[in-house]
A and B are shown apart, each in its own frame.
Chain A
Amino acid sequence: MQTLTINGQDYQVDAPESMPLLWAIRDLIGLTGTKFGCGVAQCGACSIMIDGTVVRSCSTMVSQAIGKNITTIEGTSDSLEALRQAWRDNSVPQCGYCQSGQLISAAELLDTNDNPTDEDIDNAMSGNICRCGTYVRIKKAIKEAVELKKQA
């Protein structure tokens, strides 16, 4: 048994040794907001934060998260709430499937950069594919979230 701390709550899991975090979170713990898209760190759908840093959970071992704080889309933070508001205001999602990963990647950007440039946004977000093509809205919403966070 291992203990994983996700969004401030402890979960006991019995994960096979090589199992990536994605599957421990989805199949063993049952938090299904974190998505499977490619399994090989190519699409970002499975993005989570470990101690504030974004990782692709499909390619991160369970052992790397023991004793650390995991944040998933089911969690919250100042950045995430600002982003959610901007996502609402801009009707960002289409199918919504990639958006958990998009929001998590954007949250790290806002946590670490008070004034991201277009280039910063491109760099932070280009690991996240949106097959529905909502990039223009994501970019606009990130910029608005930066402002919302400043006002808060």
Chain B
Amino acid sequence: MEKIEMKRRDFVKIFGLASGGLLFGCNVSADKVVVNTLENGISFVPNLFIQLQKDGKLTIVVARSEMGQGIRTSMASAIAEDLEADWKYVTVQQATGDSKFGNQNTDGSRSIRTLLKPMRKMGAMARLILEQAAAKKWNIPVASCKAENHFVKNISTGEEIFFGDLVEEAKTIAIPLDENIILKDKKDFKYIGKKVIRGIDMEDFLHGKANYGLDARFPNMKFASIARSPVTFGSVKSFDTSDTNEINGVEQVVQLDRLIPPAGQFFGMLGGVAVIANNTWSAFQGKNNLNIEWESGSNEIYNSEKFKEKLISRIHKKAKVVPPFKGNVDKAFENADKVIEATYTMPHLVHAPMEVPNALAWVRDGKCDVWAPVQDPQTVRAEIAHFFGFAIEDITINVMMLGGAFGRKSKSDFVVEAVALSEKIKAPVQVVWTREDDIQHSFYHAQNAQYLKGSLDKKGKVTGWLHRVAFPSITSSFKPMSNYIAGFELGMGFTNNPYDIENIQIENAKAESHLRIGWLRSVSNIISGFGINSFVDELAVASEEDAIDFRLNLLGEDKISTEKSPHPFNVSRLKNVLLEAKKLSNWGSKLPEGHGLGVAIHYSFYSYVATVVEVSVKSEKVKVENIYSVLDCGMYVNRDAVINQMEGAAIFGMSLTMFGKISTKDGAVEQSNFHDYQMTRMIDAPNIHVHLVDNEEDPTGVGEPGVPPVSAAITNAIFNASGKRVRSLPLSDHGMV
């Protein structure tokens, strides 16, 4: 855990609720305790709240966005655990985007990693207050009182008192001293690491009652659909609305200018022509009927296939060398027994969450209210303040449920569009992207090319490793002309290569961007995961060694990295997941004709993953039969949700390997909907077997780390099944699906 200290002053009880309940507030922060000053003498701003009602109802305010990772359930159960709450009384309320809730950005697989301990402590603090209240009521020492399942028990008499009946008494109890707040022992856990009784949103999901962004409704609200330039950053030359005006339900057509964000922050919006209607369908139809002449601009030159060739030629020449520098690869290659080289490519990808980007905004009386599925509500708020001049406190972001996100919904251009339109038409308006809009105007995962060269000595030991990579950087979306990969992107698998090799050189070749580039579930780990795991497999074949034994050797001696990190890299944990995957997959056993196993390992978001895939190849067509994934993410809260995430990551990785491809012609994206941007369906879904490593380590990422190893595990399996080495994705480009 990254240095979380919580002192007594970081808790507060707030009374005087209209309901007569009790509200605990606490300041929870990932990296430090924030102490602010309020006029009323409270010396900090609480950012996490637990409300206990007299009827026993316990409401926990969750300041993270729910997008399928089960965070609302996990955070609530972490608090309920140490509070000794009965799950049936627990409900969750979603926090609005407000700085008082601390950093709400839900990305980087960091929520549980950074918040587990403070949340547990919050629960333990509330439990102690309730035990003290009971002690006072019974006039016995607090040591004789023990909270259990929403009651406090008198240990000597067995008498019990309900949490709800302690509310009044608890109001008179002072905040306990820090040293008296004791977390539960792991062996007594009821919720953490166990299957939680029910997901907090389960019944809503099963009855169509969960409120996603797209479900926000107001009487007389308007719906908008926006035509955007097919070429990124193109602009409107002229447009004709006569066919649009014929559509029943269309009310007006509004031109939106592009909003360019200041360097280094925010997302702005693309601009275009918006059709406002009294229902979504009419807005869509109205948009389709617009006749627009576009000024395409400089990105018209972008043909992704040609650009791929350009990237390949660049990585075949010497490029910019980036740290860490280790040994001398040229010498290693000179003295080698064998030198192997290979080039790998992957195209652009798009998130395509099932719920398209959308936002409802209502600007009135100098205030701006938003209802939207966003991963990072505070950035949205700051962005609206920046572009539209509202005071930050006049902006409210109501975070709705996210129908999937995968990184798309942390880029808030769709919210900016809604606010711009509401300001113009002075009505509540919901901007709804069509699926075509989503596929064609996203922030894309970068097209990429990698060249790897390695040397082996006579004993088959790897002596040199050259890794050259090129892809347009995410930074280009924030700072034009950023033509090289940023350090944070290289740090996702490239410069922190886990293998113990004497001579390593990492090089980065130039790549311009002609689309908006953004992060997508596990980001550039997808690229390094494919390149490195494929190449290690090729080295293993060249040295005629078993793919798993080869990797275990290449990882070198057990040691823990000395780099400065909240969770230093521990190579033995990576070896361990690999060994577990070997067991889980029955590695080495005899397989049916035409079947093959492939393996890959990857370390990302501080978690360790090994994946083995079994494929069958029949007349050049690949079927993924089984995926075996082992995850070491340290301590986890909601076991079943973690397994579900790993299953989802396997399918996500499989989708991008089999079909994932966004291509452009003359600057415009060629794909438009699920028929040409395909993903894995039930009929192709393999059996998925997940094993979680149990240990006492600090919790680390879960949502993303399962994705990076999948591609190479599949292509390595294809090699073992058929002898064909696939070095460019997706498989559909090779007629293999």
Please list the residues of chain A having a beta carbon within 8 angstroms of any beta carbon in chain B. Answer: 16-20, 22-23, 26-28, 30-40, 42-43, 45, 72-74, 84, 87-88, 91, 93-100, 103, 121-123, 125-139
Contact = CB atoms under 8 A, between A and B. Distances in A.
B355 interface: yes
A93 B202 contact: yes
Given A32-B215, A34-B208, A97-B355, A122 B401 contact: no
Given A131-B353, A131-B404, A72 B208 contact: yes
A24 B152 CA distance: 52
B402 A95 contact: yes
Interface in B162-187: none
A34 B674 CA distance: 19
Nearest to A74: B208
A121 B404 CA distance: 24
Contact of B210 (A31, A96, A126): A96
B208 A126 contact: no
Interface SS, A side: loop
Which interface residue of A16, A22, A95 has the most chain B CB atoms within 10 A?
A: A95
Nearest to A123: B683
Interface stretch (B233-241, B476-484, B645-653, B663-671): B645-653
B355 A35 contact: yes
Nearest to A98: B354
Given A31-B208, A126-B683, A129-B679, 19 more contacts: A16-B247, A16-B248, A17-B248, A23-B281, A27-B281, A33-B207, A33-B208, A37-B674, A87-B202, A96-B210, A97-B353, A125-B682, A131-B652, A131-B679, A132-B404, A133-B648, A133-B680, A134-B644, A139-B685
Given A30-B217, A130-B354, A97 B212 contact: yes
A36 B356 contact: yes
A42 B435 CA distance: 11
B261 interface: no
B420 interface: no
B209 interface: yes
A38 B685 CA distance: 21
A139 B49 CA distance: 39
Given A33-B209, A34-B208, A91-B199, A136 B647 contact: yes
A73 B208 contact: yes
B674 A38 contact: yes
Contact of A128 (B67, B68, B206, B682): B682
B208 A136 contact: no
B201 interface: yes
Contacts of A30: 217
Nearest to B219: A30
B401 A94 contact: no
B708 to A, nearest CB: 15
B434 interface: yes
Nearest to B69: A94
A34 B403 CA distance: 13
A73 B282 CA distance: 24
Given A23-B281, A97-B355, A136-B687, A91 B641 contact: yes
Interface string B41-66: 00000000000000000000000001
A26 B280 contact: yes
Interface residues of B, number: 68
24 contacts: A16-B248, A19-B279, A33-B207, A35-B212, A35-B403, A37-B355, A37-B356, A38-B673, A42-B673, A43-B674, A93-B202, A94-B404, A95-B355, A95-B402, A96-B205, A98-B403, A126-B683, A130-B651, A132-B651, A134-B644, A136-B687, A136-B688, A139-B682, A139-B685
B675 interface: yes
A7 B201 CA distance: 23
B198 A88 contact: yes
Contacts of B67: 95
A27 B223 contact: yes
Contacts of A128: 681-682
A105 to B, nearest CB: 10
Given A91-B640, A132-B68, A28 B279 contact: yes
B354 A97 contact: yes
A103 B206 contact: yes
A126 B681 CA distance: 6
Contacts of A35: 212, 214, 354-355, 403
Nearest to A104: B208
A58 to B, nearest CB: 9
B22 interface: no
A48 B549 CA distance: 52
Contact of B401 (A22, A96, A127): A96
A96 B403 contact: yes
Contacts of B403: 35, 95-98
Nearest to B249: A16
A117 B144 CA distance: 58
Residue of B68, B202, B434, B679 ringed by the most chain A CB atoms within 10 A: B68
B460 interface: no
A126 B122 CA distance: 45
Contacts of B673: 38-40, 42
Contacts of B209: 33, 74
A95 B208 contact: no
A97 to B, nearest CB: 3
B140 to A, nearest CB: 41
Nearest to B434: A39
Contact of B435 (A37, A103, A123): A37
B204 interface: yes
B651 A18 contact: no
Contacts of B108: none
A7 to B, nearest CB: 11
A93 B650 CA distance: 16
Contact of A137 (B212, B352, B647, B675): B647
Contact of B682 (A38, A39, A95, A138): A138
A133 B683 contact: no
Contacts of B435: 37-40, 43
Contacts of A121: 682
A134 B208 contact: no
B284 interface: yes
Nearest to B430: A27
A30 B220 CA distance: 12
A91 B197 CA distance: 10
A32 to B, nearest CB: 4
